[in-house]
Amino acid sequence: MDLEWKSQTVRIREFGQGPSVLLVHGYPLDGAMWSGVARSLSERFRVFKLDLPGHGENPAPAGGTMEDYAGFLEAVLTQVKGPAGIAAFSMGGYALLSLLRRSPSNAAALALVDTRARADDEAGRTGREAAIQAVRAGGAAAIVDAMVEKLLSAAGRSNEGLVERLRRIILRQKPEALESDLAAMRDRPDSVDLLPGISVPTLVITGEADVITPPSEGESMASAIPGARYLQIPGAGHLTPMERPGAVAASLAEHFAATLS
């Protein structure tokens, strides 16, 4: 599917047939983080594997705000016929919550994957600023080692193939896109107040060993969203869709099969 965004033609990769499901990536990644999950889901769904502006194969400039990323998601949804499910990982979850704040959408079911609703505290904002300075000085190479350490569990980091794939994804991201991500995350509003108003079926997923958004964050979100289900992926770190793609795909397939028609 092609989309015009900020005077650029953006190709949205899609796979399979059936009810539509959008997969939204996190920082410092692109849509390739969902590859294993997308292959599995495409057996039952029409899967859209997004690259946010400035990332992966998306040539449009990144806007540096979560509102900009939410606007891109809204534009994609307007091109998708019928009700759609959205699974959003980490920073992608922040963009999804910004979309819900921005306006009603035709999202019929949600999955919030290893993310949180709370805004950054002062220490978090300071950390984002330090990362911005590191990226300006050294590009993606300046943050890759620290991010691999944070994104994967100890078991995941022992998987050489997984680590290599993850490093390739991070290292190909443009410095300006990474800076945009960091600024957008640093400045995003708190979204805790939105959670009780979410009225579509919602699944919240976290990895058991997630050190960025630990299970307590997921449990708190799920308890605040009416009727939401919470699922913990055993042994996984933050990057559950790459570390445990089979488990994540199975949980998403069950959730969206039950909620999309």
Q: What is the pLDDT of residues 145-164, one digit of tens each?
A: 999 999 999 999 999 999 99
- List domains and CATH numbers for the chain: 2-259 (3.40.50.1820)
Closest CA to 23 of 32, 201, 9, 203: 32
Tell me the H-state helices in the chain: 35-41, 66-79, 91-102, 122-138, 144-151, 154-157, 160-171, 175-187, 215-224, 240-243, 245-259
Unique residue bearing structure tokens 């919602």: 202
Q: Taking a C-beta distance cutoff of 8 angstroms, is the pair 195, 224 a contact?
A: yes
What is the Cα–Cα distance from 89 to 75, expressed in whole angstroms?
19
pLDDT at 139 over 70: yes
* 245/8 Cα distance (integer angstroms): 32
Q: What is the pTM of this model?
A: 0.97
pLDDT at 82: 82
Per-residue pLDDT tens digits for 84-130: 999 999 999 999 999 999 876 779 999 999 999 999 999 999 999 99
Q: Give residue 106's pLDDT.
A: 73
The CA-CA-CA angle for residues 212, 243, 98, to 5°, reads: 45
- Arithmetic mean of pLDDT, 212-218: 97
pLDDT value of residue 104: 67
